[in-house]
Amino acid sequence: MEIALLAGKYVLVALIYVFVWMVYRGLIAQARADREEESARQARAEMPRMTGPAPVTTPRRTAPTPAPAVPAAIPAPAPSAPVAPMPPPMPVGSSAESVRSALTEDTAKEEPVREEPHVPALLAKELPSEIAAAEGLAPEEPVPATAAESVMEALGEPEPKPRPESPPAPVVPLAPTPGPEPGTLVVSPSTPRLVVLHSESPDLAPGREFPLLAAATIGRAGHSLVVLTDTFVSSQHALIFLKEGRRVLRDRGSTNGTLVNGHRISGDHILRDGDQIMVGTTMLRYVEPE
């Protein structure tokens, strides 16, 4: 009996250690899986992507030959949008600063509203020369005015398709209002985008796409990138920004909240391909092409 007791004790302790060892192996395996997942994600992030205010990496094109252009519909600010008063020859540096402050501080309540409209304008101004260089085009080449018109047409179509009269490179003007210097924006097939799944709002047909810039605002206000004319949407509802290669969705203290896959988010939420974002009565899907 004594011997059985002593043996039982050691067997028990040994079993505890066997268990610890198994769990430890499990954790190691998980950590390895996590690392692989992370590196796969980073590899994806290395793909052409839109860099925002700080043009650190130039968008790497997959092929020098122009791929079939997919001019995704660019959201036009609502007709009442206060785009016109915006001074067109805006210094790039100051707008970059304003975007950065909108991103980092995001004091939705305190932040002056007027800083918002600069987001598309900034990208429109800053990106073309860099992209044109990557494309092998002559820098500072002005974009033909027809391009702007073609996009205006494309806006009416829920299914964007390549248009023959668009320029060879997938260069699409961003600023839909005819300005003195229309900016351009490359929307490559690999640009992450929001796709409308369904909406009560008449101008948001299902299938409509919003390519995501480095910083994208969602709201009822006309200067948002994704303008949602919906009484359940706050004027400055949410923000999607780029952080360490990931798109992060942040609710900006909206009244009715932002839901991801049916869960109301609080604070920041890292987006993953296929996430369904519910803003007001509008359902959007976040698409991150491989």
Partner 1 sequence: MVFASAIALGGMVLASLGQGEEAARAIRILAVVGALMATALILDLGGARRDRILLPVATLLISLGVILIFRIDGYLGSKQILWVLVGCAGLIGTYYLVDPVFNLSNWKYLAGVGAVALMVLTVILAPEKNGARLWLSLGGRFSLQPSELAKLLMVIFLAGYVAERGHLLRQLQRRRGGPSLQYRYLAPMLLMVVLCLGLFVGQRDLGTAALFFGLCVVMLYLATGRSVHAIGSLVLFVVGIVAAYHVFPHLQHRFAAWLNPWASITGVGYQPAQGMYALAEGGVGGAGLGLMPVTATNLPVASTDMIFAVLGQDLGLAGSVGVLLLYALFTVAGFRIAWRSRDTFNGLLAAGLTAMFALQAFIIVGGVLRVIPLTGLPMPLVSYGGTSMLANCIGLGLLLAVSREEAGN
Contact 163, 157 (CB under 8 A): no
**Beta sheet of 193-198, edge-to-edge order:** 209-211, 193-198, 282-287, 276-279, 258-260, 263-264
Contact 179, 207 (CB under 8 A): no
Residue 182 is encoded by which pair of tokens? 């229309």
Q: Contact positions toward partner 1, by CB under 8 A?
A: 1, 4-6, 8-13, 15-20, 22-24, 26-27, 30-31, 34, 104-107, 250, 260-272, 274-275
Residue 126 Cβ, how far from partner 1 at the closest point, in Å?
23
Contact 254, 202 (CB under 8 A): no
Q: Kindly tell me which of 134 and 197 has the beta carbon lying closer to partner 1.
A: 197
Residue 122 Cβ, how far from partner 1 at the closest point, in Å?
20
Q: Kindly tell me which of 69 and 215 has the beta carbon lying closer to partner 1.
A: 215
Residue 164: CB atoms within 10 A of its CB come to 6
Question: In angstroms, rounded to a whole number, what is the distance separating the alpha carbons of residues 205 and 195?
Answer: 10
Contact 133, 86 (CB under 8 A): no
Q: Kindly tell me which of 185 and 279 has the beta carbon lying closer to partner 1.
A: 279
- Coil/strand/helix, residue 155: helix
Residue 163 Cβ, how far from partner 1 at the closest point, in Å?
34
Residue 39 Cβ, how far from partner 1 at the closest point, in Å?
15
Q: Kindly tell me which of 2 and 140 has the beta carbon lying closer to partner 1.
A: 2
Q: Kindly tell me which of 169 and 260 has the beta carbon lying closer to partner 1.
A: 260
Question: In angstroms, rounded to a whole number, what is the distance separating the alpha carbons of residues 75 and 43?
Answer: 29
Q: Kindly tell me which of 62 and 107 has the beta carbon lying closer to partner 1.
A: 107
Residue 72 Cβ, how far from partner 1 at the closest point, in Å?
24
Contact 154, 163 (CB under 8 A): yes
Residue 174 Cβ, how far from partner 1 at the closest point, in Å?
28
